[in-house]
């Protein structure tokens, strides 16, 4: 497959790892000294919110800092309209993202009501922004060197 397709699929595996809360899978997508940098977009003038250094710490953040899914819940980190540039063994990808939470209704003891039809539950977009990543080819595999998450919305960090 083309280098651009390979780069796009790294981001596809990134969102799978996020939704599976799979820190080990996330860690393997980054070079050992990879970085995640988080920003608030602020109408085009991004303000830094925090960062993670190293593939190990990035994996630990996925397993430990992201909330587990609630009962009957799941999430979908989705990406859109990638702009990919490849130059030899380095590449960049700029993509829009939307994050959805889904929560299924609990089936009543007597089954769904008579008129019910189709999916039963809620699909709600909760986050949006841009991912801007730089990648390096290590052997035949593309890995993320720096991954910027630029949130449209302000982000609250829980207080003790």
**By the 8 A CB rule, do 147 and 77 touch?**
no
Distances (CA, A) of 14 to 26, 94, 118, 144, 148: 6, 14, 30, 10, 13
Give the residue, chosen from 47, 138, 141, 153, that forms a contact with its own copies under the rule CB under 8 A: 153
Distance from C-alpha of 133 to C-alpha of 28, rounded to nearest angstrom: 15
Element (H, E) at 41: none
Produce one character per residue of 117-127: b if its CB has 16 or more CB atoms within 10 Å, e if not. Answer: eeeeeeeeeeb
- Per CB under 8 A, does 111 bind its own copies? yes
Which residues have a Cβ under 8 Å from the Cβ of 28 and sit 6 or more positions away?
Answer: 55
- Token pair 């990406």 is found at 79
Cβ proximity to its own copies: between 51 and 152 the closer is 152
- Per CB under 8 A, does 25 bind its own copies? no
Q: Which stretch binds its own copies (CB under 8 A): 28-36, 51-59, 114-122, 137-145?
A: 114-122
Cβ proximity to its own copies: between 14 and 30 the closer is 14
Residues 42-81 that bind its own copies (CB under 8 A): 43-44, 67, 69, 72-74, 76, 78-81
Q: Which residue ranges make up the site for its own copies (CB under 8 A)?
A: 1-2, 4-5, 9, 11-13, 15-16, 20, 41, 43-44, 67, 69, 72-74, 76, 78-84, 86, 96, 98-100, 102, 104-105, 107, 111-112, 114-121, 123-128, 151-159
């Amino acid at each position: 497959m083309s280098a651009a397709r390979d780069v796009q699929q790294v981001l596809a595996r990134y969102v799978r790892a996020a939704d599976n809360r799979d820190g080990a899978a996330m860690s393997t997508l980054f070079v050992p000294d990879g970085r995640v940098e988080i920003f608030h977009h602020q109408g085009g003038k991004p303000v830094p919110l925090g960062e993670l250094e190293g593939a190990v710490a990035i994996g630990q953040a996925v397993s430990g800092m992201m909330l587990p899914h609630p009962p009957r819940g799941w999430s979908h980190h989705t990406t859109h309209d990638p702009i990919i540039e490849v130059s030899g063994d380095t590449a960049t990808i700029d993509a829009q993202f939307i994050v959805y939470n889904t929560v299924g209704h609990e089936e009543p003891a007597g089954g769904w009501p008579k008129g019910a039809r189709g999916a039963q539950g809620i699909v709600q977009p909760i986050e949006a922004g841009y991912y801007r990543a730089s990648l390096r080819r290590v052997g035949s595999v593309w890995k993320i060197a720096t991954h910027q998450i630029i949130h449209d919305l302000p982000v609250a960090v829980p207080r003790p």
